[in-house]
């Protein structure tokens, strides 16, 4: 991929996007380069199983895009990138993100989500606040200089009962899974670097995302692909757990608003105002697929639905109160549940080569070529 250095005097922004080869990160990079074509976007990504260079295809030949294969735990690398690329904005997506994996193998969650976030905070403090290079800060026409935006989840607030009001920014933290506990710890570190060191941070806690480029271990892409392959649809427990779904591009727009207008040190909840039980979600997916790609052997794909053993500690309900970001920054999700699901299904139907490469492992070919077969 190409490298390009903009002069320090330019009035464009230079973003470091961690985890930019993952689901939301890649959508964000593609969104940003489309909307701010003069800005420079540097992606730092370790290319774990969840990272996929094919998701960055739309950016690949853009001279303002640069991909760096590396770990956020490597503070020296992060500092070098902040200096060499004159980065004024970090958008921190990199994380281990799948609750089921955090139950069986929590160590990488602690390492990446907590230690990695702390390493990145130290790098930002060192380069932006401690060193003289801060005199050379680029002036941004779009964004305020030196912002560390931390992307987090509503799962840090724990689980809601059926009658509870949705999570606000003041809901006490009560994480229930190793994943959400590690994200909660990272949120606290980000907050602490603002209060202790006056680092210019913002945090967003967002509800469940769906859309293009989502790794097919999460509910929606897994079920779309299982439907296409005629495989069972494994619904955990009674299927009545509730999630508040947001189309991924709307999440990107929310982060964009926070970067442009968000107040330093503030936390913003982002949600879709779209609570659905898992059964409602599965029925919607089956109905859409019945219309778009009817099965030759089944009357409806809903006959593939199979109840399986529940996830340990499975949170019952998440729901977000987005009134703060709506009132302060004018955020409103653009996609409805119906249009978002239709777009997502379209994308998986039209991009079979993307998910087939994930399923057969060939999406890791770039790493194989770079490092032989020894990589993670």
Distance CA 282, CA 15 (A): 37
Q: Whose Cβ is closer to ligand TYD: residue 33's or residue 235's?
A: 235
Contact between 278 and ligand TYD (CB under 6 A)?
Answer: yes
Q: Binder to ligand NAD among 72, 184, 199, 274 (CB under 6 A)?
A: 72
Q: Tell whether residue 48 is a contact of ligand NAD (CB under 6 A).
A: yes
- From the list 287, 272, 20, the residue with the least C-alpha distance to 154 is 272
Annotated catalytic, 210?
no
Does position 143 interact with ligand NAD (CB under 6 A)? The reply is no
Q: Which of residues 233-292 bind ligand NAD (CB under 6 A)?
A: none
Q: Check residue 106 for interaction with ligand TYD (CB under 6 A).
A: no
How many alpha carbons lie under 13 Å from residue 349 in its C-beta half-sphere?
13
Residue 119 C-beta-side C-alpha neighbours within 13 Å: 20
Classify 87 in phi/psi space as left (phi over 0), alpha (psi -120 to 50) or beta: beta
Q: Identify the three-state secondary structure at position 180.
A: helix
> CA–CA separation, 248 vs 25, rounded Å?
10
* Catalytic choice (71, 155, 315, 321): 155
| Shortest Å, Cβ 142 to ligand NAD | 22
Check binding of 243 to ligand TYD (CB under 6 A): yes
Site for ligand NAD in 75-114 (CB under 6 A): 93-97, 112
* 89 versus 177: smaller Cβ distance to ligand TYD: 177
H helix and E strand count, the chain:
13, 12
360 is catalytic: no
What does the per-residue mask of binding to ligand NAD show for 149-178, with x meaning CB under 6 A?
--xxx-------------------------
Q: 121 Cβ partners below 8 Å, 6+ apart?
A: 148, 189, 190, 193, 199
User: Which is closer to ligand TYD, CB of 140 or CB of 288?
Assistant: 288
Given ligand NAD, ligand TYD, none, residue 99, with its beta carbon under 5 to 8 Å by kind, binds ligand TYD
Rule CB under 6 A: choose which of 234, 324, 343, 357 binds ligand TYD. Answer: 234
| Plot region of 194 (φ>0 → left; ψ -120 to 50 → alpha; else → beta) | alpha
Query: How far is the CA of 354 from the CAs of 52, 56, 216, 266, in angstroms?
Result: 9, 11, 11, 37
Of the candidates 146, 179, 301, 318, the residue annotated as catalytic is 179
Sign of CA dihedral 193, 194, 200, 206: positive
> By CB under 6 A, is residue 222 in contact with ligand TYD?
yes
CA distance 192 to 189: 5
45 interacts with ligand NAD by CB under 6 A: yes
Q: Which of 45, 71, 96, 154 is catalytic?
A: 154
Quick check: is 146 catalytic?
no
Q: Which residues are known to be catalytic?
A: 154-155, 179
**Residues making contact with ligand TYD (CB under 6 A):** 99, 208, 218-219, 222, 234-236, 241, 243, 278
């Amino acid at each position: 991929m190409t490298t390009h250095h903009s002069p320090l005097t330019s009035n464009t922004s230079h973003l470091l996007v961690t985890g930019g080869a993952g689901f939301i990160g890649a959508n964000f990079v593609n969104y940003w380069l489309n909307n701010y074509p003069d800005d420079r976007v540097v992606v730092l990504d370790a290319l774990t199983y969840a990272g996929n260079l094919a998701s960055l295809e739309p950016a690949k030949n853009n001279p303002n895009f640069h991909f760096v294969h590396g770990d956020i735990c490597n503070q020296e690398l992060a500092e070098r990138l902040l200096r060499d690329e004159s980065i004024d904005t970090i958008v921190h997506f990199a994380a281990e993100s799948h609750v089921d994996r955090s139950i069986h193998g929590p160590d990488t969650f602690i390492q990446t989500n907590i230690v990695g976030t702390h390493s990145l905070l130290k790098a930002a403090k060192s380069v932006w606040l401690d060193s003289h290079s801060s005199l050379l800060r680029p002036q941004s026409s779009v964004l305020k200089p030196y912002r560390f935006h931390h992307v987090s989840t509503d799962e840090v607030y724990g689980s809601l009962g059926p009658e509870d009001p949705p999570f606000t920014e003041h809901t006490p933290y009560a994480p229930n899974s190793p994943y959400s506990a590690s994200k909660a710890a990272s949120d606290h570190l980000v907050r602490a670097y603002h209060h202790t060191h006056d680092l210019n941070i913002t945090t967003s806690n967002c509800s469940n995302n769906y859309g293009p480029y989502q790794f097919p271990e999460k509910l929606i892409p897994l079920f779309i692909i299982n439907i296409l392959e005629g495989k069972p649809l494994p619904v955990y427990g009674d299927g009545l757990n509730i999630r508040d779904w947001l189309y991924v591009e709307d999440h990107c727009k929310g982060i964009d608003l926070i970067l442009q207008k968000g107040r330093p040190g503030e936390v913003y909840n982002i949600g879709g105002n779209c609570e659905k039980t898992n059964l409602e979600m599965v029925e919607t997916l089956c109905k859409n697929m019945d219309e778009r790609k009817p099965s030759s052997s089944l009357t409806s794909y809903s006959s593939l639905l199979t109840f399986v053993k529940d996830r340990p500690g499975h949170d019952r309900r998440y729901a977000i109160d987005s009134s703060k970001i709506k009132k302060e920054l004018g955020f409103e999700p653009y996609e409805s549940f119906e249009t978002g699901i239709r777009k997502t299904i379209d994308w998986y139907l039209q991009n079979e080569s993307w998910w087939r490469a994930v399923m057969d492992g060939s999406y890791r070919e770039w790493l194989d070529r770079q490092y032989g077969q020894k990589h993670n």
